[in-house]
Amino acid sequence: MTDRRPLASGRVAEVRIFAGGADRLDAIEPLWLMLSAHHGELTPPELPVRAPEAGWAARRERYRRALEDGAILVLAEGPEGVVGYAFAHPRPAPESLAIERLLEVETVAVLAEARGKGVGTALMEAAIDLADKWIGYARLGLTVYTDNVAALTLYRKFGFDIEGTARRYALRDGELVDVHMMARHAVGIDGAKSRRNASRKNTKTERKPSA
Ligand SMILES: CC(C)(COP(=O)(O)OP(=O)(O)OC[C@H]1O[C@@H](n2cnc3c(N)ncnc32)[C@H](O)[C@@H]1OP(=O)(O)O)[C@@H](O)C(=O)NCCC(=O)NCCS
């Protein structure tokens, strides 16, 4: 994982990009509260609408549980504290699906003052590196508001394609808005499938007779 990473534009001197566990969740609370104050910038919102602190408590607990199940948390820390984070979590794939392992990018968020300086790029790079090398997935998916140009630009940079558009999918500030479904696919999905079949076979042969 990258440690000190000088950013491309040089407008932010240094930001440290690192993977975190549940013990780092408190570090993102101020950022989450600030961003959630700008309604609709973080998806999905905590519903039903609650006080920000209660919203954070619910989100924190969900993140904590997801981290126990192999989720990825990457933080960007500047001299003043955390300026951004990315969070991705595995999704169980039903047996009937052709896809072995689904990962979902739930949040990539950068403090307003720190945007446009490469922080989002550095976060995505680190999160995808972790997902590619250590978590493994057949499909890394996400949803994004169709008018979120910054996020669309960021995701396209990392090979995410628009696979479809869900009309009037999300309620944002009293308006039903469209979202794009985007995904990046790992190479060797067939390999992932056959690994799963192989491990099933192994499970069968290795299963001990019940006493
Ligand atoms: C989306 C977000 C995470 C991007 O973070 P960032 O630190 O500004 O991203 P970067 O500086 O690395 O820029 C990434 C790319 O997007 C482009 N970009 C950034 N802001 C842009 C904007 N407002 N309009 C068009 N392009 C933009 C950059 O030029 C860069 O592309 P390039 O490398 O080809 O030049 C940030 O804008 C954000 O936190 N937004 C609010 C939360 C959000 O919407 N998250 C996504 C939810 S799905």
Q: What is the CATH number of the domain that holds 107?
A: 3.40.630.30
**Total H helices, total E strands in the chain:** 5, 8
State which ligand 1 atom lies nearest to the alpha carbon of 116: 11
User: Residue 148 Cα, ligand 1 centroid: separation in angstroms?
Assistant: 9
Helix or strand run (H / E) with residue 105: strand 102-110
> Does the residue 210 lie in any domain?
no
What's the total number of domains in the chain?
A: 1
pLDDT of residue 45: 55
Dig out the tokens for 63 from the structure: 């993140």
Helices (H), 45-181: 52-68, 119-130, 149-157
What's the distance, CA 162 to chain centroid?
Answer: 17
pLDDT per residue of the chain (211 residues) written in tens, 0 to 9: 444 444 444 444 589 999 999 999 999 999 998 887 765 454 455 555 667 788 899 999 999 999 998 999 999 999 989 999 999 999 877 777 776 788 999 999 999 999 999 999 999 999 999 998 888 888 999 999 999 999 999 999 999 999 999 999 988 878 999 999 999 997 654 434 434 444 444 333 333 334 3
pTM over 0.75? The answer is yes
**Whether 165 contacts 119, CB under 8 Å:** no
How many other CB atoms are there within 10 angstroms of residue 32's CB atom?
A: 21
How much is the pLDDT for 38? 66
Is 211 part of any domain? no
Which residue, by CA, sits nearest to atom 27 of ligand 1? 150
Q: Is residue 152 part of a domain?
A: yes
**Which range marks the domain in which residue 25 is found?**
4-204
Structural domain includes residue 209: no
Of 121, 152, 155, 179, which is best to mutate to test ligand 1, by the most ligand atoms within 8 angstroms of its C-beta?
A: 121
In a domain, 120, yes or no: yes
